[in-house]
């Protein structure tokens, strides 16, 4: 393998710290893709979607994938035993694992502990995945640790091996471990990437405590097509003698988790509801909105409480009288009085892109990266409750807009059906690209698919929505005929729908220049010439309030945040 090609595979990471790096990487990718030689495995897998495709192709023996990760760790200069020094809290789940991690990290940081936090995916910049004391590592620190790890792996590569470098997610996992050790964190909160048993974070042998958030259906091609099969994968993070906690689950997957825990001699506990910890005091205030966050907060409290106990830390909260588990499948975790540090941690937790609200003049943006049926259901409850709370007399119309995209093997039609009760006036679909130009999408773009492919997926979403709308309103049959699609509503409650080629164009149409922060250049000529785009623009310009729900994909939410919150790109 040539050294030039080797360095090209590294270049895309520089997009996190340098626009010039982004441009050079894209040019290099185009050059390599034009060559007849086959692509080498490894660094070309730049997004979760690509990582998933790679995992599907290599899943013949998943145990070998873990062994390969250990070899990469050794080549990088670390042994598995070195990770014990990180005092890891290992967390998995289908929905809520990222929020649980955020709650847990914020609570423990309030105790004066130096925290590391590894999460995925990122929203705007790849540096978000590796955090110290809640903040993404700096561009300088990222660059230093990236090249140190890259050169170390390059120096130790085996010329007989067909895979000399780890793929994207593996590389970042290795890098996070090195950063946390070099920065001497007191603890590291590590979010599982996909599944648990064979996830590359599962080379950790001795975490302090493990957690399993709510389970549901996702990544079925990798994890299985039932919640029980998925529970088996998630329970793979359990370790002998290491306490683990889970929230209330359906009977089937809960039984699987119990069985997995028994097989590994892992003490597994069921978290009591947050109400049990509130008894005798005021209701707990959470920094993250949505009723479903109470389950995540309950799990985070138990994980933080257990970690503090395991490390003989003072001020862990007075244990109240414990109650027996009503399910009799698992022992109930202790009910304790949350300490002031814990209360402030829950209240001050921030986790962008999850039940996040941005209020900008007449526009209110509701951002939630829900992408499974259960998480979209929770998102709908949160959105409708938020609308109900903000009801106030207004002179003028209120407009509801859905901005949606879905990727991978997810059932977009099922997700869109769950969103129908929100009664949107407009449904807008676009790819997870901030701009049409690829140079502006370095941290978001999946270079293994074309713009045509992602636009076709958006058109399918629009067609699904139109069919659902027809079922609701029973209009005249008819279908979309152009890229900017808008079946004319034949019913007062039907939704007009549009497809745009990038997020920026979608936001320009939705905001109509009325967002005081998002003030792009003039839209491309002809962008709003479609009759519904034109008439809708008039409605949006005159509306007293515009409520926009952005959901279906964390990558979509990340692209929207990049444009609405420019400071996140700095």
pLDDT digits (tens, 9 = 90+) for 487-536: 434 344 578 999 999 999 999 999 999 999 999 877 766 677 788 899 99
Going from N- to C-terminal start, the domains of the chain cover 60-348, 356-473+492-569
Per-residue pLDDT, 158: 77
146 alpha carbon, distance to own chain's centre:
22
Residue positions forming the annotated binding site for ATP:
354, 368
Query: Is 60 exceeded by the pLDDT of residue 397?
Result: yes
The owner of tokens 């005091």 is 281
CB 72 within 8 A of CB 190: no
pLDDT digits (tens, 9 = 90+) for 221-240: 677 779 999 999 999 999 99
Of the chain, the percentage scoring pLDDT greater than 70 comes to 79
Query: Is 50 exceeded by the pLDDT of residue 334?
Result: yes
pLDDT digits (tens, 9 = 90+) for 147-189: 999 999 999 987 666 567 899 999 999 999 999 999 999 999 9
Q: Which two tokens stand for residue 196?
A: 């648990």
Say which CATH class 60-348 falls into.
alpha beta
**393 — pLDDT class (breaks 50, 70, 90):** low
Q: Which two tokens stand for residue 169?
A: 């997610």
Per-residue pLDDT, 427: 97
CB 183 within 8 A of CB 116: yes
Per-residue pLDDT, 207: 98
Query: Is 60 exceeded by the pLDDT of residue 28?
Result: no
**255 — pLDDT class (breaks 50, 70, 90):** very high
d(CA 243, CA 232): 17
Q: Which two tokens stand for residue 187?
A: 């603890």
**358 — pLDDT class (breaks 50, 70, 90):** very high
What three-state secondary structure class fits 150?
Answer: helix
The helix or strand, by DSSP H or E, that contains position 379, with its residue range, turns out to be: helix 373-389
Q: 159 or 455: which carries more pLDDT confidence?
A: 455
Per-residue pLDDT, 164: 78
d(CA 489, CA 470): 9
Residue 552's contacts (CB-CB under 8 Å, 6 or more residues apart) are 370, 371, 376, 404, 405, 406, 412, 415
Which spans in 283-394 are helix H?
Answer: 293-310, 340-348, 373-389
Residue positions forming the annotated binding site:
120, 191, 219, 354, 368
Query: Is 70 exceeded by the pLDDT of residue 484?
Result: no
Query: Is 50 exceeded by the pLDDT of residue 409?
Result: yes
Query: Is 70 exceeded by the pLDDT of residue 5?
Result: no
The owner of tokens 């603890």 is 187
Per-residue pLDDT, 7: 46
Query: Is 50 exceeded by the pLDDT of residue 45?
Result: no
Q: Which two tokens stand for residue 360?
A: 């900008």
Taking residues 540-565, what's their average pLDDT?
96
Per-residue pLDDT, 569: 83
Q: How far is CA 171 from CA 27, 145, 447, in A?
A: 22, 11, 18
CB 134 within 8 A of CB 107: no
d(CA 544, CA 542): 7
d(CA 170, CA 51): 10
Of the chain, the percentage scoring pLDDT greater than 90 comes to 67
Residue positions forming the annotated binding site for Mg(2+):
120, 191, 219
166-180, 253-267, 328-342, range with the lowest pLDDT: 328-342
Cα dihedral 548, 550, 551, 553 in deg (nearest 10):
170
CB 83 within 8 A of CB 174: no
d(CA 473, CA 467): 10
Per-residue pLDDT, 61: 72
The helix or strand, by DSSP H or E, that contains position 411, with its residue range, turns out to be: none
Per-residue pLDDT, 440: 55
**417 — pLDDT class (breaks 50, 70, 90):** very high
d(CA 161, CA 174): 19
**128 — pLDDT class (breaks 50, 70, 90):** very high
d(CA 210, CA 224): 22
Cis-peptide, bond into residue 23, ω within 30° of zero: no
11-20, 305-314, 384-393, range with the lowest pLDDT: 11-20
CA-based torsion, 108, 110, 111, 113: positive or negative: positive
The single-letter DSSP state of residue 29 is H
Q: In what order do the strands lie in the sheet with 398-404?
A: 356-360, 363-367, 545-551, 398-404, 426-429, 496-499
What three-state secondary structure class fits 280?
Answer: coil
For residue 400, which of 413, 391, 410, 411 has the smallest C-alpha distance? Answer: 391
Query: Is 70 exceeded by the pLDDT of residue 8?
Result: no
CA-based torsion, 389, 390, 394, 397: positive or negative: negative
Q: Which two tokens stand for residue 56?
A: 């599907």
**446 — pLDDT class (breaks 50, 70, 90):** low
Mean pLDDT of the chain: 84
First to last CA, the chain: 35
Tell me the pTM.
0.85
356-473+492-569: CATH, from 1.10.357.10, 3.90.190.20, 3.30.70.20, 3.40.630.30 = 3.90.190.20
Q: What's the chain's length in residues?
A: 570
Q: In what order do the strands lie in the sheet with 115-118?
A: 135-136, 130-132, 115-118, 187-191, 88-92, 209-212, 244-246, 268-270
The helix or strand, by DSSP H or E, that contains position 196, with its residue range, turns out to be: none
Per-residue pLDDT, 6: 46
**35 — pLDDT class (breaks 50, 70, 90):** very low
Burial class (CB in 10 A: 0-12, 13-18, 19+), 353: buried
User: CA-based angle 49:55:58, to the nearest 5?
Assistant: 150
Q: Which two tokens stand for residue 67?
A: 């062994």
Q: 21 or 13: which carries more pLDDT confidence?
A: 13
What three-state secondary structure class fits 359?
Answer: strand
Per-residue pLDDT, 315: 76
pLDDT digits (tens, 9 = 90+) for 61-94: 778 889 999 999 999 999 999 999 999 999 999 9
**392 — pLDDT class (breaks 50, 70, 90):** low
């Amino acid at each position: 393998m040539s050294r030039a090609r080797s360095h090209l595979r590294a270049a895309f990471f520089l997009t996190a710290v340098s626009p010039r790096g982004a441009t050079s990487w894209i040019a290099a990718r185009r050059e390599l893709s034009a060559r007849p030689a086959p692509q080498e495995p490894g660094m070309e897998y730049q997004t979760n979607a690509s990582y998933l495709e790679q995992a599907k192709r290599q899943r013949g023996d998943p145990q070998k994938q873990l062994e390969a990760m250990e070899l990469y760790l050794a080549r990088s200069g670390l042994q598995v035993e070195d990770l014990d020094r990180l005092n890891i809290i290992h967390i998995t789940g289908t929905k809520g694992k990222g929020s649980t991690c955020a709650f847990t990290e914020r609570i423990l940081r309030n105790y004066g502990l130096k925290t590391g936090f590894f999460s995925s995916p990122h929203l705007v910049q790849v540096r978000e995945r590796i955090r110290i004391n809640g903040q993404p590592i700096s561009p300088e620190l990222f660059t230093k640790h990236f090249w140190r790890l890259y050169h170390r792996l390059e120096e130790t590569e085996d010329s007989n091996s067909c895979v000399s470098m780890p793929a994207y997610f593996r590389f970042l996992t290795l890098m996070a471990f090195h950063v946390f050790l070099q920065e001497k964190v007191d603890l590291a909160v590590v979010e599982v990437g996909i599944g648990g048993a064979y996830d590359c974070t599962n080379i950790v042998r001795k975490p302090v405590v493990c957690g399993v958030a709510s389970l549901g259906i996702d990544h079925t091609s990798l994890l299985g097509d039932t919640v029980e099969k998925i529970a088996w994968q998630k329970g793979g993070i359990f370790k002998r003698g290491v306490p683990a906690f889970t929230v209330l689950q359906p009977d089937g997957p809960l039984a699987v988790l119990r069985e997995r825990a028994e097989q590994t001699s892992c003490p597994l506990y069921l978290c009591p509801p947050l109400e049990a910890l509130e008894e005798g005091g005021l209701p707990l205030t959470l920094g993250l909105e949505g009723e479903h966050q109470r389950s995540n907060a309950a799990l985070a409290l138990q994980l933080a409480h257990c970690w503090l106990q395991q490390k003989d830390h003072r001020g862990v909260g007075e244990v109240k009288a414990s109650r027996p588990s009503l399910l009799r499948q698992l022992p109930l975790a202790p009910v304790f009085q949350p300490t002031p540090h814990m209360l402030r941690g829950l209240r001050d937790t921030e986790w962008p892109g999850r039940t996040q609200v941005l209020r900008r003049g007449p526009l209110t943006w509701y951002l939630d990266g829900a992408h499974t049926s259960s998480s979209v259901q929770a998102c709908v409850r949160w959105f409708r409750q938020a609308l109900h709370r903000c009801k106030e007399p207004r002179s003028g119309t209120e407009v509801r807009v859905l901005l949606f995209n879905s990727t991978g093997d997810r059932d977009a039609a099922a997700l869109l059906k769950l969103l129908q009760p929100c009664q949107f006036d407009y449904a807008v679909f676009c790819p997870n690209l901030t701009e049409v130009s690829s140079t502006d999408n370095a941290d978001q773009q999946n270079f293994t698919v074309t713009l045509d492919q992602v636009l076709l997926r958006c058109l399918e979403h629009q067609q699904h929505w139109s069919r659902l709308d027809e079922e609701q309103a029973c209009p005249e049959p008819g279908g979309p005929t152009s890229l900017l699609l808008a079946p004319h509503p034949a019913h007062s409650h039907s939704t007009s729908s549009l497809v745009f080629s990038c997020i920026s164009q979608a936001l320009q149409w939705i905001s109509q220049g009325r967002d005081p922060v998002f003030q792009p250049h003039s839209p491309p000529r002809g962008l709003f010439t479609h009759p519904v785009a034109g008439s809708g623009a008039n409605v949006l310009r005159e509306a007293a309030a515009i409520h926009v729900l952005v959901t279906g994909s964390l990558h979509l939410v990340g692209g929207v945040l990049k444009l609405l919150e420019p400071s996140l790109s700095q």
